[in-house]
């Protein structure tokens, strides 16, 4: 019951955010991409449910490998969508359109490459996966923050 409510909430929140968008062109374009993003989350939850059932039935599955594979698939999917997303009216800081496009292309490439690296982590020995996963994830956060600051500073000049 709780999972069903969570799935409904995951699907409805982006739709509410779209309706708050003032620019009709951005709203229409967002309406095309948000369902794809909202569809990934229930699929991942379905995969997690299958993993839990398999694990409890006695199949030997590495939790670290499954987590790296699931995160990698999500990153690859989102990395392909990020360049097509528009900057909404409610984002901060406001960036000029050409700067926003550059930042989105960079973020899309970064997320896609990290997705591939996360998938490849699933094939490493289990004791190595989690430390490597966290190193990659912290690197991703630091690179994203640095690029976001760089583009925000470029836009203000």
Q: How many CB atoms lie within 10 A of CB 115?
A: 20
Amino acid 155: pLDDT: 62
Contact 34, 18 (CB under 8 A): yes
Predicted structure pTM score: 0.74
Contact 111, 79 (CB under 8 A): yes
The pLDDT tens digits of the residues spanning 48-95 come to: 888 989 988 988 888 888 989 999 998 998 888 777 765 555 455 566
State the Cα angle at 109 between 107 and 113, rounded to 5°: 115
Q: Would you call 33 helix, strand, or coil by DSSP?
A: helix
């Amino acid at each position: 019951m709780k999972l069903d409510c969570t799935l409904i909430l995951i699907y409805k929140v982006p739709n509410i955010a779209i309706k708050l968008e003032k620019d009709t062109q951005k709203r229409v374009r967002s309406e095309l991409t948000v369902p794809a993003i909202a569809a990934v989350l229930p699929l991942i939850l379905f995969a997690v449910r299958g993993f839990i059932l398999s694990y409890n039935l006695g199949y030997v599955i590495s939790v670290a490998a499954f987590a790296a594979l699931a995160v990698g698939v999500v990153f690859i999917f989102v990395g392909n969508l990020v360049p097509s997303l528009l900057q909404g009216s409610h984002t901060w800081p406001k960036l000029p359109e050409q700067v926003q496009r550059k930042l989105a292309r960079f973020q899309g490439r970064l997320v896609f490459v990290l997705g591939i690296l996360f998938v490849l982590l699933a094939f490493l020995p289990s004791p190595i996966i989690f430390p490597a996963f966290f190193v990659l994830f912290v690197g991703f956060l630091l690179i994203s923050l640095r690029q976001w600051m760089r583009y925000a500073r470029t836009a203000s000049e």
